[in-house]
């Protein structure tokens, strides 16, 4: 197992290298010029060129790429073209809100979606099943920002229970931290809950048809034990897989959610950097997201062994 983990961690290196080359190349060929953004309307072409030179944007692709990779290997993600701050500092400033939002969404989604899916499978064909599936369709269909605005209208503007926007760091206290994250997490979690609930239901339906479930019932095992101990454990592998794949959904959704609720996270940092063509920041954040995604998938692979002892690496 340990050797497997080491192998998988090492395998992330070529993946990250490909991602790095891909991101760098895309940015190189994409239209846009940060020097023109900085210079503003009143600058002459000579001024823009001088800024471009001072930023090193006039150098050949390979030189810039080589230098960037070398710096990354030395733990230096570069400096933002606009803010003059190290990219690592900017990421550090933004990582807590995004991490908080994603973890809370994940907890919320799993704790709601899995029981929903299990109950829908158990009550298959009844109104409960149809309600759960109806919610799942709704969760998939309504965009995150619409859910966000509706929640803000009801719970912030009308009821005044929660704030409209912003983020309070965890160190300021659990309540203020939660207060700012409840609405964004629900908004972001909608799609995720729908996805997990549907997969849980489908997998549970399949498992509940198995012979060993019939045997358990015949032996007089209680309904709760059958559902949560016998069936759910055997349905866990596909559910965990979807949770892992869904991380990409969360990362994408976080960009919109952070904008709607003005949360200072990595999603907004990415959008702002793209709009201004702040290349070092875009490269740094995309690389980080890729790394997290690869790691989450590794974690999911390792979790398989917990749920299904037949799986060995």
Residues that bind other proteins (CB under 8 A): 31-33, 36-45, 47-48, 50-51, 54, 80, 82-85, 90, 93-94, 149, 152-153, 156-157, 159-166, 172-173, 175-176, 179, 259-262, 264, 268-269, 272, 274-277
Q: Which is nearer to other proteins, 145 or 228 (CB)?
A: 145
The distance of closest approach from Cβ of residue 167 to other proteins in the complex, given in angstroms and rounded to an integer, is 8
Hey, is 186 helix, strand or coil? helix
Q: How far apart are CA 155 and CA 310, in angstroms?
A: 47
The distance of closest approach from Cβ of residue 181 to other proteins in the complex, given in angstroms and rounded to an integer, is 14
Q: Which is nearer to other proteins, 2 or 175 (CB)?
A: 175
Q: How far apart are CA 289 and CA 284, in angstroms?
A: 9
The distance of closest approach from Cβ of residue 34 to other proteins in the complex, given in angstroms and rounded to an integer, is 8
The distance of closest approach from Cβ of residue 261 to other proteins in the complex, given in angstroms and rounded to an integer, is 7
Q: Which is nearer to other proteins, 119 or 260 (CB)?
A: 260
The distance of closest approach from Cβ of residue 168 to other proteins in the complex, given in angstroms and rounded to an integer, is 8
Three-state helix/strand/coil letters over 159-174: CCCCCCCCCCCHHHCH
Strand ranges, E, within 260-313: none
Hey, is 215 helix, strand or coil? helix
Q: What are the φ/ψ torsions at residue 81 (nearest 5 degrees)?
A: -60, -35
What Cα–Cα distance (Å) separates residue 293 from each residue in 48, 184, 256, 288?
38, 21, 19, 9
Q: Which is nearer to other proteins, 14 or 40 (CB)?
A: 40
**What's the helix, strand, coil split of the chain in %, to 5?**
80, 0, 20
Q: Which is nearer to other proteins, 135 or 167 (CB)?
A: 167
The distance of closest approach from Cβ of residue 305 to other proteins in the complex, given in angstroms and rounded to an integer, is 41
User: Cβ(301)–Cβ(12) under 8 Å?
Assistant: no
Q: How far apart are CA 267 and CA 285, in angstroms?
A: 9
Q: Which is nearer to other proteins, 117 or 280 (CB)?
A: 280
């Amino acid at each position: 197992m340990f050797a497997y983990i080491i192998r998988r961690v090492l395998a992330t290196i070529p993946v990250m290298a490909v991602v790095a080359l891909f991101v760098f190349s895309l940015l190189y060929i994409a239209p846009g010029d940060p020097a023109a953004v900085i210079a503003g309307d009143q600058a002459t072409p000579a001024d823009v060129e001088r800024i471009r030179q001072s930023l090193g944007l006039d150098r050949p692709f390979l030189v810039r790429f080589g230098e960037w990779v070398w710096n990354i290997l030395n733990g230096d993600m570069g400096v933002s073209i606009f803010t003059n701050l190290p990219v690592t500092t900017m990421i550090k400033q933004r990582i807590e809100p995004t991490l908080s939002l994603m973890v809370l969404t994940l907890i919320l989604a799993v704790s709601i979606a899995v029981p929903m899916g299990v109950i829908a499978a158990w009550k298959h064909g009844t109104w409960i099943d149809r309600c759960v599936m109806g919610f799942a369709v709704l969760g998939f269909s309504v965009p995150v920002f619409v859910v966000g605005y509706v929640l803000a209208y009801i719970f912030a503007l009308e009821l005044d229970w929660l704030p409209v926007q912003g983020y309070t760091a965890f160190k300021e206290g659990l309540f203020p931290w939660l207060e700012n994250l409840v609405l964004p997490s629900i908004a972001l979690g909608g799609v995720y809950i729908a996805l997990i609930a549907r997969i849980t239901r489908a997998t549970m339906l399949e498992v509940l048809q198995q012979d060993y479930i019939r045997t358990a019932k015949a032996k007089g095992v209680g309904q709760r034990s059958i559902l949560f101990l016998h069936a759910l454990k055997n349905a866990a592998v596909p559910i965990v897989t979807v949770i892992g794949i869904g991380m990409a959904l969360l990362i994408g959704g976080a960009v919109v959610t952070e904008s709607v609720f003005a949360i200072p996270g990595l999603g907004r940092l990415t959008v702002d950097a793209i709009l201004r063509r702040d290349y070092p920041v875009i490269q740094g954040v995309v690389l980080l997201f890729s790394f997290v995604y690869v790691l989450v998938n590794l974690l999911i692979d390792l979790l398989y062994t917990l749920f299904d002892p037949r799986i060995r690496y």
